[in-house]
Structure formats: structure tokens, C-alpha cells
DNA sequence: ATGAAAGCGCTAACAT
DNA sequence: ATGTTAGCGCTTTCAT
């Protein structure tokens, strides 16, 4: 690999002149600038970001921490993050915690040692965000996605409202006995969505039967198991059964749909199902899934953008100028897993 | 951030002694070693990988280049890569090319300037792999996933065989008029799968009707459009229609399944459908998708492992010791989108 | 066993 | 406008 020294030598200038010329900042005669650029091209010179970072004390890398690379929730988010970052010339260091504290710690250490300019924390993570908040204090800006309780800057959606919208849609289309497959306890999004579900029911004077409330793990398999249990293991007779079901996320809704098909329970006629998330797959299952769509790509872009702002503003651990929380809107996507409005 | 200097001072030793003690290599008295470690912990010291890399001239980062972060094909692959890399203490720099040459070039430059220790190239990329092969020559090991024509070390599956297996399965379960939704022309995997499809038919003395051969873009929407065209725009009467369909990947198969449902064409009774890929979603569509599953996670792990080998062997641009190509097996996963064997 | 000194590739004062 | 010098945080000879 050619170094700036090689470039300088070939161009017949000093290293510092080469440095200045290459970056276009500072005073250089047009002639030498040209010579240096030319030399750089001839040598296929690529600046060594490592060396540069060491002296400038800032890198152009950001760490993205997420809890499961195979969870569709993260795919568009990651895509959005990557797009914004790479356009800005930043490198994205990705770490998957697999929801394991050890892996999270390892990721944290890698990020630190790599001197990331900032980090994006997506998904649950450990309850214990202590290390991260500490980092924030040391001038490593952090933006979280969905962890709005953490005291860290955050891009999020109103999960309570999202679940409320889901349940309301069910109510408006005629459901009265509405069940829930909640996400894993302890996960903020799951708790909030449960809350929204309860609130919507309460607002309409509907009381949720505890037998209709299940817990899944945000995976399709979890949704499948929950729905199976709901309809086979809970001793519900024909009129005790729910006629509507809110799933804590699309993944579980999709699993539930499969269980219902296997049980010969018609959707939406016998039970309407609504998910939360808006992942692309929802369109391709049977019936196509009605869902409260989260602006996933936008969430990723916004988080990256916000982080970039904070990084480039510099030393921004106490910024008042910009909002610390961005709330994005969700949208109800009505497909066929719920009844048409007119069927009310 | 504490530096090694701070640690040395606190421990009352020289920087070089601290360095040696911290890494456990070289001669240090047990007593000072302990003192240094203690000081490091007290200061929450984390070695600066940037500085270290500058002097050792090697980083512990590897670049992963893929063509679309939202394509399920990559999810388990990326997960496998990440797992192996992070376990080995490497940072993963991710870049999404979006199948755009400019973005690919940008990624290439970022990887280079970050001095990645190696790279994994997954997915199509530009035809022009020139830059990358050049890098390889400069001692930046590269492993490709599925680009086995490139002359670069590679982890791959036999796509010809995979498609052959798919078509054979259809034939064995009684299909005789077998169509194909091929992937994008120019994409190696797509071409090879087409080839396998043709070979299987030929071996059984079946001649493919050109009207049954469509092209999609590896997305569900593409598969949907292709299936719609096959059954509505090609003027096929009842007995001209295919009774079996090979899709170039699971994504397109899933899209096709949706189209068939909308058209009221029963699967597998009227037409059996088989995909290639084995993505998790296949299990949750209706009917569950029969597919030739690729060992995606293993592919990612193997590629990362192979890269690590080459990195740590050092200067390995001409290695004979290890295989340059790893071929992984595919497995037919029979679900309900094809007829049961007994129905032959 | 420990420390002093040099230097990785680059940028940033500071001369000239 | 250009060059000289110093130094980022660390590892690595080489003395001691």
C-alpha cells in the first residue's frame, strides 16, 4: 500500500504539503495540488484512516448494536442506518448481541477499542445499560432505537398508540372478544403494546378475558404456539373464543395465522388478526396480514442522522439544540386478516 | 479515555512494561503484572485498537459486502459471519451495495481506508471484480460467498444441483409440465439454477415449453408478477398449463404462491411449487413451501472461518495448504407446496 | 525483569 | 505556499 510519503516523494513535495493538497484544505498552489493528486492516483493511494484517526482523535466509524440479525424488525432499520452512514463516509461496525449479556459486553468492548465515533443501540439489550450511558458521558454519542426509557437520545414510535390502533381497528370492524399475544415480558415494546391493547379495550368498555391473553417471544414459532394453546389447551367453548387477536408483532401474527389455518379456524371470519410492525412478509402470508406498520427504514435513517448530528456537533453530551427524542408515526395497513370496515 | 500511559503511571512502571504486562506476552514479574492489571481495571482502560493497528500494521476488522440487507438470503449468512468474527475478537464492518456500482466502489474505499484485515464478498456485486482481486494480491485476503467463478476463494453451494433436485422432486411427485421462474439474468446463481432445471428436465426426457419460462428479480413481487403473467397473459389453455413450477429462489416462490391463491389455482393439486433457499418464512406461507434449503448460517460461518484462517496464516495470497473452495450440501425440505411422494 | 527510544502514517502547529 | 517538527497511543527493538 502506498503511503502519503510515497505520494509526496513522487510529487516532489513534503509530506505535509501532500497532506494539505490531498484534503483540499489550506493553502496550496494549484500546480502542486494537481501534481499531488496525480501522484496519488498513479500510486492508487488510499489514505490510511487508522493513522489519520490516531492523530485527529476521531474516527469515522459508528457501531450498530442489535439483538438479532435474523429478526425482520431490524432489516430495514439496518438498511436505513447503513445508507445514511455510508453516504456520509462512515463505516458501520455491526454487532449482534443475540440477547446475551456476554455478547453485548463483547460488542461494547469492540466498539470502545475501535474508538467508534458514536453508537446506535437497537432492540432490547440488557436491562443494564450502565456501560453505555457511561460512554455517552465520555463524549461518545449514542442514539437508541426504541429504548426511550433509557435517558439516552432516542428514535421511537409510540408503541402504546400502535397497539391501541390495532385493537381499535378490531373493535371498529366488529370484534368484541379480543385476545392478545404479548411479547416477552421485560421488553419495553412488548409491555407498551400490551398497555395499548388494554387501554383500547377499556376505552370501549370491553374487558379482556385473561384466558385470551398469551405470551410469545416475538418469533413466528412463538406466535404459533400461543395460538395453538389459545385454541386447544384453554378449554374455550365456541362462545368463549376470542373473535379478534392482537399480536405483539408481525412475526407472531404470522405464526398465529399458520396455527389458525391448521386448526381450520377461518380468518377473519371467525377471528380477525392484526399485527404490529409492517414487515414485508406480512403481505405474502394467507390471509395477508393487517398490521400497524412502523416506519422501519425511516427509523434507521433518523437514528443515523441524529447520531451524525451529534457526532459532528462535537462534544455534545449536553445538547439542548436538537431534540433528544424523535417520535415517528405508525400507520394502519388494512389487509385481509381483519374484516372490512363495512362488515361492522 | 485512559491510555496505557495512565495505566503505566498509576502502576508505577514504564509504558513498555505496562504494554507487555497487559498482553501477557514477554517477561514480567508476577507482582508488576498484577499491579498493572489492577491499574488498568481501576482506570477502566481499554486498549486503543487504532493505535495498536498503526504499529502492528494489522487490524482486527473485516469487511462484509452484500448486495441487499433486506434480502432474507443474507440474514442467516450475516448472522453466521458475525458470530464467528465476534467470537474471534474481530469487528465486522458491513456495507450494502444495493447492487449499485457506485455504492460498491464506496464500500471498497471504506474497507481499504479502514485497513480491513480481510473481506467477505457476498451476493452478486458488479461484474467487475477487478478492484477486489487487486486487493487480494496486496495481501488483503478475500473470501467470496457464491461467486465461485471469480478466481477468489469461495464458499458455495452447487446451484445447478440444487435446481436439479428441485425439478427432480417435482418430476418424482408426478409433475410433467414444469415451468421456471428464473432469477435475474447475469446473476450467477440464477443462471446455474436455470441450467439445473433444464438438465433435470432433459434427463427425464421432458422438454420445457418456453411459455413456461419466466424471469423474475429474486423478490416476492417479481415472483408474483411472473406467476400472474404465466397464468393470465400467456394465453395458456387448461392443458397447456404447467403442473409444476421451480422458482429461482424462495422469495419468488412465495410471491408466486400469493398470485396462485389470488387466481384460485390450487397448490399443489393444480400446480406444485418448489423454491430454493430455505428461508424461514417458507414455513409460514400457505401452503408451506417445499424448498431446496441452502445451509445459510453455515455458509456464513464457513466463509468467516476460512477468512480468519487466511488472515492469521498471514501473507496468504498463494496458499496451497487449504482448499480454496468449500462446497456445502443442500437439502430438500418437503412441505406442502408439492405433492406427497405417494401421490405419484 | 524493566525502561528508553524509535517509529507506524498521518495531521497540525509553527517556521520560513 | 511550502517545509520542519512534534506527536497521536501503542508495540517493539535494544539496552540495562
Torsion over CA: B66, A120, A75, B88 (sign): positive
Mean pLDDT of chain B: 93
Calculate mean pLDDT across residues B174-199. 96
B36 & B80 share domain: no
Nearest CA in chain B to A88: B106
Give buried/exposed letters for B208-238 (b at 16+ CB in 10 A, else e): beeebbbbbbbbbbbbbbbbbebbeeeebee
Averaged pLDDT for residues B152-170:
97
Q: Is the pLDDT of residue A184 over 60?
A: yes
Assess if residue B123 is contained within a domain: yes
* Of B133 and B279, the one with more pLDDT: B279
Nearest chain A CA: its distance from B94 CA (Å)? 6
Q: Write out chain A residues lying below 8 Å of B257, CB-based.
A: 284
* Cell reading at A273: 388478526
Is B259 in contact with B234 (CB distance < 8 Å)?
no
Which member of B47, B78, B254 has the closest CB to residue A69? B78
Phi-psi region of B95 (alpha: psi -120 to 50; beta: other; left: phi over 0): beta
Rounded CA-CA distance B305/B303 in Å is 5
With cut-offs at 50, 70 and 90, classify the pLDDT of residue A126.
low
Give the pLDDT of residue A344: 39
> Does B53 fall in a domain?
no
Closest CA to B218 of B184, B186, B244: B184
Task: With respect to residue A53, please indicate whether it lies within any of the assigned structural domains.
Answer: no
**Any strand C atom closer than 7 Å to A61 CB:** no
Is residue B24 domain-resident?
A: yes
Least confident of A147-156, A295-304, B36-45, B264-273: A147-156
Q: Is residue A204 domain-shared with residue A275, that is, in the same domain? A: yes
Q: How far is the CA of B27 from the C1' of D15 (A)?
A: 16
Number of domains in chain B: 3
Quick one: pLDDT at residue B131?
75
In terms of domains, do A230 and A259 share one?
yes
Identify whether residues B214 and B314 lie together within a single domain: no
Q: Is there a contact between B181 and B215 (Cβ–Cβ < 8 Å)?
A: yes
Q: What is the mean pLDDT of residues A33-49?
A: 96
Question: What pLDDT score does B206 carry?
Answer: 94
Is the same domain home to A199 and A96? no
Residue matched to cell numbers 415494546: A189
Same domain, B189 and B284: yes
For residue B316, pLDDT over 60 is answered with no
CA-based nearest distance B50→chain A, Å: 6
Among A3, A22, A41, A50, most B C-beta atoms within 10 A, so best to mutate, is A50
Same domain, B181 and B194: yes
Domain that holds residue A30: 4-47
**CA angle B14-B16-B17, nearest 5°?**
65
Query: Is A52 part of any domain?
Result: no
User: CATH code at B210?
Assistant: 3.40.50.2300
Answer yes or no: do B188 and B306 share one domain.
no
Mark whether B142 and B210 lie in a shared domain.
Answer: no
User: pTM for the full model?
Assistant: 0.95
User: Distance between CA atoms of A223 and B186, rounded to whole angstroms?
Assistant: 39
Instruction: State whether B94 and A95 contact (CB < 8 Å).
Output: no
Average confidence score pLDDT of chain A: 93
Residue B318 has pLDDT above 60, yes or no: no
Strands (E) across A229-300 are located at 244-247, 272-277, 290-293
B38 and B93 together in one domain: no
Residue A190 lies in a domain: yes
- Reply yes or no on whether the pLDDT at A315 is more than 60: no
Residue A128 lies in a domain: yes
In a domain, B52, yes or no: no
| Angle, CA of B282, B283 and B285, to the nearest 5° | 70
Cβ contacts (< 8 Å) between B91 and chain A: which residues?
93, 95, 110, 114
pLDDT of residue A321 exceeding 60: no
Q: Give the CA A25 to C1' C15 distance in Å.
A: 19
Overall average pLDDT of the A313-323 stretch: 57
Average pLDDT over residues B47-72: 97
Decide if B284 and A280 are in contact by the 8 Å CB cutoff. Answer: no
Q: What is the pLDDT of residue B125?
A: 56
Does the distance separating the beta carbons of B110 and A96 come in below 8 Å? no
Q: DSSP label at B230? A: I
Inter-chain CB proximity A280 and B220 less than 8 Å: yes
Q: Are residues B17 and B165 in the same domain?
A: no
- Where does the pLDDT of residue B233 fall: very low under 50, low under 70, confident under 90, or very high at 90 and above? confident
Closest CA in chain B for residue A76: B70
- For residue B48, give how far its alpha carbon lies from the nearest alpha carbon of chain A (Å): 5
Q: Are residue A182 and residue A306 in the same domain, yes or no? A: no
Q: What pLDDT does residue B129 have?
A: 67
pLDDT of A103 over the 90 cut? yes
pLDDT, tens digit, 9 for 90 and up, residues B60-101: 999 999 999 999 999 999 999 999 999 999 999 999 999 999
Amino acid at each position: 500500500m502506498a503511503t502519503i510519503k510515497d505520494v509526496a516523494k513522487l510529487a516532489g513535495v513534503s509530506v505535509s504539503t501532500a497532506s494539505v493538497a490531498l484534503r483540499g484544505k489550506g493553502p496550496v498552489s494549484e500546480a502542486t495540488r494537481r501534481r499531488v493528486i496525480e501522484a496519488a492516483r498513479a500510486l492508487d493511494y488510499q489514505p490510511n484512516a487508522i493513522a489519520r484517526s490516531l492523530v485527529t482523535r476521531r474516527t469515522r466509524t459508528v457501531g450498530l448494536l442489535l439483538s438479532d440479525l435474523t429478526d425482520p424488525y431490524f432489516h430495514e432499520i439496518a438498511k436505513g442506518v447503513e445508507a445514511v452512514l455510508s453516504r456520509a463516509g462512515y463505516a458501520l461496525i455491526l454487532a449482534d448481541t443475540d440477547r446475551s449479556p456476554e455478547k453485548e459486553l463483547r460488542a461494547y468492548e469492540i466498539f470502545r477499542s475501535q474508538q467508534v465515533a458514536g453508537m446506535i443501540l437497537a432492540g432490547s439489550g440488557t436491562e443494564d445499560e450502565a456501560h453505555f450511558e457511561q460512554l455517552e458521558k465520555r463524549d461518545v454519542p449514542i442514539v437508541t432505537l426504541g429504548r426511550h426509557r433509557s435517558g439516552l437520545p432516542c428514535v421511537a414510535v409510540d408503541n402504546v398508540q400502535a397497539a391501541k390502533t390495532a385493537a381499535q381497528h378490531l373493535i371498529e370492524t366488529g370484534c368484541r372478544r379480543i385476545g392478545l399475544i404479548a411479547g416477552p415480558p421485560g421488553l419495553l415494546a412488548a409491555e407498551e403494546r400490551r398497555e395499548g391493547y388494554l387501554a383500547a379495550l377499556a376505552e370501549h368498555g370491553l374487558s379482556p378475558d385473561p384466558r385470551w391473553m398469551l405470551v410469545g417471544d416475538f418469533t413466528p414459532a412463538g406466535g404459533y404456539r400461543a395460538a395453538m394453546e389459545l385454541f386447544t389447551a384453554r378449554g374455550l367453548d365456541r362462545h368463549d373464543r376470542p373473535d379478534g387477536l392482537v399480536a405483539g408483532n408481525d412475526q407472531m401474527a404470522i405464526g398465529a395465522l399458520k396455527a389458525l389455518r391448521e386448526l381450520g379456524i377461518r380468518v377473519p371470519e371467525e377471528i380477525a388478526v392484526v399485527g404490529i410492525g409492517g414487515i414485508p412478509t406480512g403481505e405474502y402470508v394467507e390471509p395477508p396480514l393487517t398490521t400497524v406498520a412502523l416506519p422501519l427504514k425511516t427509523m434507521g435513517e433518523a437514528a443515523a442522522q441524529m447520531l451524525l448530528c451529534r457526532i459532528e456537533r462535537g462534544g455534545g453530551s449536553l445538547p439542548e439544540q436538537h431534540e433528544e427524542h424523535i417520535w415517528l408515526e405508525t400507520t394502519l395497513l388494512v389487509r385481509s386478516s381483519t374484516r372490512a370496515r363495512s362488515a361492522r
